[in-house]
Chain A
Amino acid sequence: MDWLTAVEWSPYAAGIGIGILSWFTWLISSKPIGCSTSFARTAGMIEKLFRGKKVEDKLYYREVKPEIDWQWMFVAGIIAGALISSLISGDFHWLWVPSTWQSAFGDNPWLRFLAALAGGILLGFGSRWAGGCTSGHGISGTMQLAVSSWISAICFFIGGIAIAQLIFKVIP
């Protein structure tokens, strides 16, 4: 069982595994692999804590109900699965500043925190605008040959490559 405790698998093996997993999410749950809707549901659930039931009347939350569903549990499972995988391989580390960031911007955790916060806001906003993320559009939608998902996935990478070049090649 050495493969279970290996730090890294071939990206092709992991990718084929994800493809096979998607067969079973469709067969058993009739669901595509996806993640970003759950962040919107979480935002709605938090808003409900402060503003009560009337949050459910918002147009967006009428379409995306602020409640725990299949995908929300799926995303919670990702945290657990990555934790298990990294613990049994010894690849679990508490880390504030990743090395690529550090080599360009130093090891100040606050700067990295603010960048992650700002990046997260754009990512959350953009994923709900596009109606999906790297999993929902990028993997599940492209494999269904959806035009919406191919456009989204290509734009994720066009935007990502352009801004990454700006951040790491132009700014420092």
Chain B
Amino acid sequence: MKNQTKKSQLIWGLIFGIIFGFLLQKSGVTKYDVIIGQLLLTDFTVLKVMLSAVITGMLGLHLMQRFGWIKLRPKAGSWGKNAAGGLIFGAGFALLGYCPGTIAGAMGNGYLDAITGGFAGIVIGSGLLAAVYPKLSTGIMKKGYFGDLTLPRLARINEWIIIIPLAIILALLMLWLETAGL
């Protein structure tokens, strides 16, 4: 029985992935030009997709958690892990022009730079990190450790006092992008 649930979860993973890939392709973010346009601040499609997803997801997930339907798992982190790793990621993001999710979409879209060098590079880079992980995990990744902290716990206030204003601010940001013609 347990094996069967595991198998059915793999199928669910595939189904959810197909929907995600479909949505990514329709939004345009499987394209190098759209992603580089975002990093050059000339095309804000990536930000619009991400912010609409974050607002929708944030409201729904926290409501579902309140009803006891799901239990969220915010990732633990540290400055040495998230800031340093994030900046390296950013450099790769700019040079490659795809991220790990959108590159899978770009591969389905037929983009050969993604299928060949890009995909191989991400696998190699991940393998390299695995090789140096024992050193990093006891060194820089421990610097500034804060665990699985969330913004409401950091501010010591009820989560909805963050969620509602944040949803409004992010929506206003998108409205501003539209009025500015971006």
Residues of A that sit less than 8 Å from B by CB: 6, 8-9, 11-12, 14-33, 35-36, 38-40, 42-44, 46-47, 58-61, 64, 68-86, 89, 91-101, 109, 112-168
Task: Decide yes or no whether B176 CB sits under 8 A from chain A.
Answer: no
Q: B57 touches which one: A19, A72, A128, A157 (CB < 8 A)? A: A19
- Known: A128-B130, A161-B39; 6 extra A-B contacts, CB below 8 A, are A11-B48, A15-B52, A73-B14, A81-B17, A135-B100, A142-B54
Q: Do B64 and A155 touch across chains, with their CB atoms under 8 A apart?
A: no
In the complex, per-residue mask of B99-116: 1 if CB is within 8 Å of any chain A CB, else 0: 111111111111111101
In the complex, per-residue mask of B14-35: 1 if CB is within 8 Å of any chain A CB, else 0: 1111111111111110111100
Q: Which residue of B lies closest to A157 (CB)?
A: B90
How far apart sit A94 and B25, CA to CA, in the bound complex (Å)?
15
Q: Which residue of A lies closest to B174 (CB)?
A: A12
In the complex, how many residues of chain B place their beta carbon closer than 8 angstroms to a beta carbon of chain A?
A: 122
Q: Do A14 and B49 touch across chains, with their CB atoms under 8 A apart?
A: yes
Q: A145 touches which one: B92, B98, B152 (CB < 8 A)? A: B152
Decide yes or no: A116 and B117 within 8 Å by CB, A35-B104, A92-B110 being known contacts: yes
Q: Do A145 and B162 touch across chains, with their CB atoms under 8 A apart?
A: yes
How far apart sit A153 and B12, CA to CA, in the bound complex (Å)?
27
Which A residues are CB-close (under 8 A) to B119?
A: 120
A-B contact pairs, 21 of them (CB 8 A): A16-B52, A31-B13, A58-B133, A77-B21, A78-B18, A81-B25, A81-B108, A86-B109, A95-B113, A120-B117, A121-B92, A124-B128, A128-B125, A129-B88, A130-B86, A144-B74, A144-B150, A146-B148, A148-B78, A152-B83, A168-B40
How far apart sit A136 and B137, CA to CA, in the bound complex (Å)?
20
Which A residues are CB-close (under 8 A) to B37?
A: 100
Q: Do A9 and B82 touch across chains, with their CB atoms under 8 A apart?
A: no
Q: Do A44 and B130 touch across chains, with their CB atoms under 8 A apart?
A: yes
Q: Do B95 and A163 touch across chains, with their CB atoms under 8 A apart?
A: yes
How far apart sit A98 and B109, CA to CA, in the bound complex (Å)?
12
Which A residues are CB-close (under 8 A) to B87?
A: 126, 155, 158-159
How far apart sit A76 and B162, CA to CA, in the bound complex (Å)?
35
Decide yes or no: A21 and B149 within 8 Å by CB, A121-B124, A129-B129, A133-B101 being known contacts: no
How far apart sit A101 and B35, CA to CA, in the bound complex (Å)?
12
Q: Do B100 and A134 touch across chains, with their CB atoms under 8 A apart?
A: yes
Q: Which residue of B lies closest to A85 (CB)?
A: B25
How far apart sit A156 and B46, CA to CA, in the bound complex (Å)?
13
Q: Do B36 and A119 touch across chains, with their CB atoms under 8 A apart?
A: no
Q: B95 touches which one: A14, A73, A75, A122 (CB < 8 A)? A: A122
Q: A70 touches which one: B10, B18, B48, B102 (CB < 8 A)? A: B10
